[in-house]
């Protein structure tokens, strides 16, 4: 079916007490693997690309890949710009066919973040595309951006910007964790009480199953996974080359990598509670 926006998908998750898994993809193989997992699990799904990924492959290329794969399905697939780092990139993504965008102004001051986000929302409304924003810095590294965690979350932000979903900082970090993460789950529960739009958990790679499940139970409606998919992909190729160093066909490497990414995606969909949610 055609690509859908994230609005109904996340609204359904919010009402149903589960989260939609949002998976960062870097190439055709990863996109096919994530969609294959969603088909097997009968799960709505979001595929995401970051600024460095679209710089590598272009917005148009990824939009074409995901659109083509989604057209073979009978369930909801959304293509999302993750951590859009400028107004211009967000608009370009909408024009290219992305059906959801994130504008990340969390590195700016509160007022600058509000102004930037509101500007993107105004354009997105004309395209019928929902916008995710981030308030409070999620620590760690995402693409070329590195930040110290900052747990500032103000419900006024949603009212002033008109965003459709909000990523909040509760102690997660992008990339894998150096130690055991300590999440401020009470902050999450408090945010759910005062923020009306669906909440988003960034930095889920490396979290325990218990942490992911509890965050979903406390109100997260979208959970992002990136680093662990990249690791699964490359580890599978490394293993194949270790066992069969004479392998030279890229398709064989791709098949092994897709299998690993699909398996990892299924595990995370189960943790999010979104399996079997396709009507």
Terminus-to-terminus CA distance in the chain, angstroms? 13
CA-CA distances (angstroms) from residue 158 to 131, 139, 180, 269?
A: 11, 21, 31, 27
Single out the residue of 120, 95, 93 nearest to residue 105, CA to CA.
120
Residue 201 main-chain phi, psi, to 5 deg: -105, 115
Active site includes 82? Answer: yes
Q: For residue 96, count other CB atoms closer than 10 A to its CB.
A: 17
With residue 15 as reference, give the H or E element that holds it: helix 6-16
Among 12, 82, 104, 211, the one annotated catalytic: 82
Report CA torsion sign: 79, 82, 91, 105.
Answer: positive
With residue 276 as reference, give the H or E element that holds it: none
Give per-residue burial for 151-173: e unless 16+ CB within 10 Å, then b. eebebebbebbbbbbbbbbbbbb
Report CA torsion sign: 133, 139, 140, 141.
Answer: positive
Residue 26 main-chain phi, psi, to 5 deg: -115, -10
Note whether 49 and 81 are within 8 A (CB). Answer: yes
Q: Which active-site residues does the annotation give?
A: 82
């Amino acid at each position: 079916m055609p690509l859908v926006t994230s609005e109904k998908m996340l609204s359904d998750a919010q009402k149903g007490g589960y989260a939609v898994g949002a998976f960062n993809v870097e190439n055709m193989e990863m996109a096919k693997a994530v969609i294959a997992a969603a088909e097997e699990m009968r799960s709505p799904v979001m595929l995401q690309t970051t600024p460095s990924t679209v710089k590598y492959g272009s917005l148009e290329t990824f939009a074409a890949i995901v659109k083509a794969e989604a057209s073979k399905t009978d369930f909801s697939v959304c293509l999302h710009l993750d951590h859009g780092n400028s107004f211009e990139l967000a608009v370009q993504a909408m024009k290219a066919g992305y059906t959801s965008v994130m504008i990340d102004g969390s590195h700016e001051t509160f007022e600058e973040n509000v102004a930037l986000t509101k500007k993107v929302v105004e354009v997105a409304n004309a395209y019928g595309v929902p916008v995710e924003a981030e308030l409070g810095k999620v620590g760690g590294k995402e693409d070329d951006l590195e930040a110290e965690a900052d747990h500032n979350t103000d419900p006024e932000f949603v009212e002033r910007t008109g965003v459709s979903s909000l990523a909040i900082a509760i102690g997660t970090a992008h990339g894998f964790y150096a130690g055991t993460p300590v999440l401020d789950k009470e902050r999450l529960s408090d945010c759910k009480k005062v923020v009306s739009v669906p909440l988003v958990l960034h930095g889920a790679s490396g979290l325990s199953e218990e942490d992911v499940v509890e965050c979903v139970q406390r109100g997260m409606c979208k959970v992002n996974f990136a680093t662990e998919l990249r690791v699964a992909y490359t580890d599978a190729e490394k293993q194949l080359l270790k066992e069969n160093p004479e392998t030279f066909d890229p398709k064989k490497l791709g098949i092994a990598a897709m299998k690993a990414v699909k398996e990892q995606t299924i595990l995370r969909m189960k943790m999010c509670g979104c399996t079997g949610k396709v009507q």
